[in-house]
Chain A
């Protein structure tokens, strides 16, 4: 992944030097050209082509924004009610992510969506403790996190 990005940057530099023009525009053209060449020769590369991950990252950001808006509306509904019609609680969510980067990303995405807040990671990195606004919907929330964020993060990092 990092190696391919590096090769792509080197190709952009080569393109800019060949054109004898070190402006950002030429550099960007060279980068796109290198990206296309890497895509065409993706079967020759030792690792999977990194463009797939960029698409996955854009999808992850889109899903995050969608979740953000939906859960905001949810919290507004809770706030607008005259009595408190929910009981908060803490849910233990088993996670199947390995690297610290993945776990941190997941925890921060959970914290950024209103109504859920990651409290702690267990010592062996296998469980995430989440404070949810409404414990009656805990199953729903944990399934939601599992199927959206966790799956998408795994697509970005692997």
Chain B
């Protein structure tokens, strides 16, 4: 029984990018509204899972040619170094700083070190969930 996944695949091609943009938005919004690194990471994973449902696992591995274990490690390192940075400046571990910076074109922007920590969380969650799903999904 051969089936035709044409509609699913065509919709996936569009929706994938919308989900990924929404994931980055959620990651960025986490400081003042609901969201953050964890939800952003899960959303990114869900986008890749949708891709693998529509096109198969090989497509995901071709489209995102990274080892997700390395992504996990990278995320943990970023989060850890973000905490270490505070101790270097004689503050307690994981003390966060924030400030208002005047950037060209964007105007008054609030920059926080918590966002760096959040990016670490984001990468860790994406790497961990993708690793779990890809290893369970493999036929071997």
> Which residues in A have some Cβ–Cβ distance to B below 8 Å?
22, 100-101, 103-104, 107-108, 118, 120-123, 125
Q: Roughly how many angstroms separate A22 CA and B11 CA in the complex, as a whole number? A: 34
Q: Is the CB of A123 within 8 A of B10?
A: no
**Which residues in chain B, 1-45, are within 8 Å of chain A measured between CB atoms?**
2-4, 6-7, 9-11
Residue from B2, B3, B6, B105 in contact with A103 in the complex, judged by beta carbons closer than 8 Å = B6
Q: Is the CB of B7 within 8 A of A101?
A: no
Q: How many residue pairs bridge A and B at CB < 8 Å? A: 26
> Which residues in B have some Cβ–Cβ distance to A below 8 Å?
2-4, 6-7, 9-11, 105
Q: Is the CB of B4 within 8 A of A100?
A: no
The binding surface of chain B is classed by DSSP as helix
Known: A101-B10, A104-B6, A104-B10. 20 other contacts (CB 8 A): A22-B105, A100-B6, A100-B9, A100-B10, A103-B6, A103-B7, A103-B10, A104-B11, A107-B7, A108-B7, A118-B7, A120-B4, A121-B4, A121-B6, A121-B7, A122-B4, A123-B3, A123-B4, A125-B4, A125-B6
- Least CB distance from B89 to A in Å reads 37
The 5 closest A-B pairs by CB, nearest first: A104-B10, A100-B10, A121-B4, A104-B7, A121-B6
List B contacts of A101 (CB < 8 A). 10
Residue among A22, A104, A118, A125 with most chain B CB within 10 A: A104
List A contacts of B2 (CB < 8 A). 123
List A contacts of B7 (CB < 8 A). 103-104, 107-108, 118, 121
- Least CB distance from B71 to A in Å reads 31
Q: Roughly how many angstroms separate A108 CA and B3 CA in the complex, as a whole number? A: 18
